[in-house]
Amino acid sequence: MSLTLQQLNVEKIKQDFPILQRKINGKRLVYVDNAATTQKPSSVLKAMDRYYLFFNANVHRSPNTLGEEATIAYENAHKAVAQFINARSWQEVIFTKNTTEGMNLLAYAYGMNFLKQGDEIILSEMEHHSSLVPWQQIAKRTGAKVKYIPLLDDGTLDMKAYQKLLSSKTKIVCVCHVSNALGTINDVKTIAKYAHEQQAICIVDGAQSVPHMKIDVQDLDCDFLLFSGHKMLGPTGIGVLVGKKDLLEKMPPFLYGGDMISEVTYQESTWNELPWKFEAGTPPIAEAVGLKVAIDYLQKIGMEQIHAHEQELIHYAQEVFSTLKDVTMYGPEKKAGILSFTVKGIHPHDLASILDRHGVMIRGGHHCAMPLMKKLGITGTARASFYLYNTKEDIDKIKEAILDAQRIFK
């Protein structure tokens, strides 16, 4: 049975999000900047408040009631994430600040220790700066070389060119599952398979996929998967790095200090077991509590249903935008719930400002993908990105606001 918008009670869902009751410039808030960050349901906010109000304590340290309750909640968050993406063990789940920090952890803990002169790293031409820049810099330090999977004209990756790029020199392949700038959904399962045939590891940036579709990390068989809590109804300040245990165990720590140690003397130190080995210092406890509740919320609705809802929205948006004059859409026709577009004669920043007058929150700019924008021959795009609390009426509001912007600039 196909899932439809009618089966997802969006108006009821909206009631769970206090911020969506706001009015901006006297207009109903239409929030379609979900690729940047998502709004938080009351249950997430209340759970974090409850931690601070009733069992605020540090984890793995205090043998008292508060410390034990905090530790249980923190570890349960790891287990919830593992179950959510079907990790082999919750010990493979490492909490970071965000996807960016997770990628830097890999760049320094893996790249700096296992790359050498002449090795090759393969990225794609649609990568976010958070993936591109760390590996670019690590390549400079190690003498490795970065190569890029080119884009086809339709905004998808050239998989034949990817296969030709692979060789015995390839040590790392790092790609986004979903492009934050184009909405392209990449076949990361096949990308990982080809990488493994060359004994290379595959890293997947799941920041734009994990919040929007059902992910099975074992089925994808990538070696590392990264994503951020704030893009999936959770709080800012917490991200996730999931990695295969054998790789995590041979990597040295990225940060040193409290809770990542096993034993310390004046001469030497040994490291804690996973995942604590990579979680130095006081971790994001309240944020972990909030992330678990966000996962509970998403699972109650159903990731398949959320994905189906977004697919109906993006198809409707493409139909609506195809009727607008002087509007160009970017990326493939089959895509995630991300619509990047330009309006002739109007800079994306100006367009975003005018839409704000209508209560419509979009993003305008290069979306942390400057090389991609240069390749497309533009400085940036306007971007509307959808989630479970958006509706077709929101898309109609975007259309009205664009028509108003065109009237103003005409």
pLDDT tens, residue by residue, 116-162: 999 999 999 999 999 999 999 999 999 999 999 999 999 999 999 99
Residues 143 and 16 in one domain: no
| Domain boundary pick from 253, 281, 299 | 299
Residues 113 and 232 in one domain: yes
In a domain, residue 198? The reply is yes
Q: What pLDDT, on the 0 to 100 scale, is given for residue 258? A: 87
Residues 309 and 235 in one domain: no
Give the H/E segment covering residue 205: strand 201-205
Q: Which residues of the chain have pLDDT under 50?
A: 1-6
Q: Name residue, tokens 């991200």.
A: 239
- β-strands 120-124, 145-149 pairing: parallel
* CB contact at 8 A, 289 and 51: yes
- Give the global pTM: 0.96
Residues 295 and 309 in one domain: no
Residues 313 and 240 in one domain: no
Q: What share of the chain is helix, strand, coil (3-state, %, to 5)?
A: 45, 20, 35
In a domain, residue 40? The reply is no
Measured in degrees and rounded to the nearest 5, phi and psi for residue 60 equal 60, 20
Q: What pLDDT, on the 0 to 100 scale, is given for residue 5? A: 43
| Domain boundary pick from 271, 299, 327 | 299
Q: Tell me the residue length of the chain.
A: 410
Q: What pLDDT, on the 0 to 100 scale, is given for residue 78? A: 98
In a domain, residue 216? The reply is yes
Residues 308 and 227 in one domain: no
Residues 277 and 266 in one domain: yes
Residues 285 and 327 in one domain: no
Q: Which residues pair with 346 in a beta bridge?
A: 343
pLDDT in tens, 174-215: 999 999 999 999 999 999 999 999 999 999 999 999 999 999
In a domain, residue 39? The reply is no
Q: Which residues pair with 28 in a beta bridge?
A: 23
**Is 368 known to be catalytic?**
yes
Residues 294 and 308 in one domain: no
Measured in degrees and rounded to the nearest 5, phi and psi for residue 342 equal -130, 150
| Among 174, 202, 222, 368, the one annotated catalytic | 368
- β-strands 239-243, 120-124 pairing: unpaired
Q: What pLDDT, on the 0 to 100 scale, is given for residue 4? A: 46
In a domain, residue 402? The reply is yes
- In the three-class reduction of DSSP (H, G, I as helix; E, B as strand; rest coil), residue 182 is classed as coil
Residue type, 245: K
In a domain, residue 41? The reply is no
Q: Which domain holds residue 230?
A: 46-299
Residues 65 and 195 in one domain: yes
Q: What pLDDT, on the 0 to 100 scale, is given for residue 1? A: 33
The CATH number linked to 402 is 3.90.1150.10
Q: How open is the CA angle 381-233-212, to the nearest 5 degrees?
A: 60
In a domain, residue 36? The reply is no
| Domain boundary pick from 273, 299, 325 | 299
Residues 148 and 52 in one domain: yes
Query: How far does CA 39 lie from the centroid of its chain?
Result: 14
CA distance 399 to 320: 7
The CATH number linked to 273 is 3.40.640.10
In a domain, residue 381? The reply is yes
Residues 270 and 288 in one domain: yes
**Number of domains present in the structure of the chain:** 2
